[in-house]
Structure 1
Amino acid sequence: MDSSFYKRLREMSLQAAQKVGQPVFYTRYEKELSESAAFFERNSLIARCRELLGDAKLHPAHGTGHCEKVAREAGALVRIERAKRGMPDPDEDLMLCVQIAGLFHDIKRTEEDHAVAGSREVQSLLEAFPLDDRYKRYIVAAVRNHEAFKKVLDSEDEAARLVSDALYDADKFRWGPDNFTVTLWLITEHGRISVRTLFGDFEAKMEGIAWIKETFRSSTGRQYGPEFIDKGMEIGREIYKEMLSLIGDV
């Protein structure tokens, strides 16, 4: 019975997402997003990372689709923020750093304290990569700093801070509509969570998501990130109302 309920809830979430529309970030920075996506597809080191990743190493709800989207949008954020900050580092070097960090940031998602564990794993993986040691440190530090509501370690310089901030913000964009149209249903499917259990925890978890609005780190993230969360919350409220109706019908 839960499977039919979840199918109905998921279909409704997609309808709600269409109704609320996509965040303004996607139209405002369409050019930068397109450039980042093109770099992602053509760069040989990114291709190597994608081969290494593999869904088998990842949490079912934070698989390659999630990591690739984070990488592409983090790349766009680097390009946007670098222009704002007038930074000297080559644009594509920092884009490469943050896209690698994006691909690998959840590589230890199934482990406790996954950001710390992931940073250690990434440090090991990068030993064989033909990258400047400074850029390797940027990537490892960004992975270490990407978890919400945890202490943020100081960055070694402005470029490292940009890579770290861009990864964090792109990852937290996923707490918006994606959380309620994709991630939630992967979690319920693989965790075999009943509708009643989901219903019981739903409001409390929605409150936790709302706090993410206060944590965006880059100026672009602070400007556009809260809208992602607001739109996600709108979809979440529609899901909750539908669950009320479904449970009442049982």
Structure 2
Amino acid sequence: MENHYAQIQNLARHIVAGYPVPEFYKDYASAVMYSKNILETNPLLVKIRSFVSKNLDNDFGHGLDHAIKVTLDAGALIYIESRIAGYSDNFYKRRVIIAQSAGLMHDIKRKEKDHSAAGAVFAREALKNCAFLPEELDDICIAIKNHEAFKDAVEIKTPGGKLISDCLYDADKFRWGPDNFTDTFWEMISYINPPFSEFIALYPKGMESLHKIKLTFRSETGKKYGPGFIDIGIAIGEELFEIIKKDFAYLL
């Protein structure tokens, strides 16, 4: 990464530190902790996580750290949504494992043009010998295929499958909040290393995408808390851009 981008990333992280933690993590700390415990102790998920750590590139903003954050929030959303809907304990316990499997695998083909479709194909092959029923594997692969923003989603026939897909999508889009400005964006910049003039020219377009994503959350919990993540991201991005235009104008 060019030195000026590293400097801007440090500024961004300093700005992020001044903002509150998204309300989701305060209101549902127990759900996040439940999800974390499942991810760390379930033998199947431990196996999948190990596989992903060896096969997922970490240099494009969507590496293992990103995958784990998405996985934890997807599991928490499944837990929350299932309890609101009155599903049985056995239902949500299994659904959390399925959602977390999708979360770990969702960006496994991130560098490919249609990465969600390619990831779904790859996941089906990689997980075919794991202890999933055929319909569970279908739910994982469809959720991966449906996680990309601003694309038509594949129709899902079962409430359980739709729950997996919606919660994975929302957990992934939570990352468009503060996480975008601490790590994700800068790792992508490091990989692409665009001219600074191009970076400045495209910055407003990126901010427009943040405004658009607010309207796309799918689960009821995502619709309630997702916009809060994005509002924090927008505020951080706007504050950072003003500093960039002022303090780095000499690079243009």
Matched letter for residue 26 of structure 1: Y
CA contact (8 A) 1:59 1:110 kept: no
CA contact (8 A) 1:196 1:247 kept: no
Q: Name 2:56's counterpart in structure 1.
A: 57
CA contact (8 A) 1:173 1:228 kept: yes
CA contact (8 A) 2:2 2:193 kept: no
Give structure 2 stretches of 5+ with no counterpart: none
Is residue 2:228 matched to residue 1:236?
A: no
Q: Name 1:166's counterpart in structure 2.
A: 167
How many residue pairs are counted as aligned between the two chains?
249
Q: Name 1:16's counterpart in structure 2.
A: 15
Q: CA deviation at 1:56?
A: 4.8
Is residue 2:216 matched to residue 1:215?
A: yes
Matched letter for residue 116 of structure 1: A
Give structure 1 stretches of 5+ with no counterpart: none
Q: For 1:98 and 1:39, how far apart are their aligned partners in 2?
A: 11
Q: Name 2:32's counterpart in structure 1.
A: 33
1:153-206 deviation line (CA, Å, top 9, x unaligned): 121211111111000000000011111111111111122223322111101111
* DSSP-derived class of the 2:214 partner: helix
Q: For 1:128 and 1:248, how far apart are their aligned partners in 2?
A: 55
Q: CA deviation at 1:17?
A: 1.0
Q: Name 1:107's counterpart in structure 2.
A: 108
CA contact (8 A) 1:58 1:106 kept: no
* DSSP-derived class of the 2:2 partner: helix
Segment drifting more, 152-161 vs 51-60 = 51-60
* DSSP-derived class of the 2:110 partner: coil
Q: TM-score, normalised by structure 1?
A: 0.95
> Identity, % of aligned pairs?
34
Q: For 1:4 and 1:146, how far apart are their aligned partners in 2?
A: 33
Q: TM-score, normalised by structure 2?
A: 0.94
* DSSP-derived class of the 2:157 partner: coil
Q: Name 1:67's counterpart in structure 2.
A: 67
1:44-94 deviation line (CA, Å, top 9, x unaligned): 111111111136533621000000110011000000000111224522100
Q: CA deviation at 1:149?
A: 0.9
Q: Name 1:47's counterpart in structure 2.
A: 46
Is residue 2:220 matched to residue 1:192?
A: no
CA-based RMSD of the aligned residues comes to 1.5
CA contact (8 A) 1:59 1:109 kept: no
Matched letter for residue 35 of structure 2: S
Q: Name 2:5's counterpart in structure 1.
A: 6
Q: Name 2:91's counterpart in structure 1.
A: 90
Segment drifting more, 135-144 vs 3-12 = 3-12
Matched letter for residue 190 of structure 1: Y
Q: CA deviation at 1:8?
A: 2.4
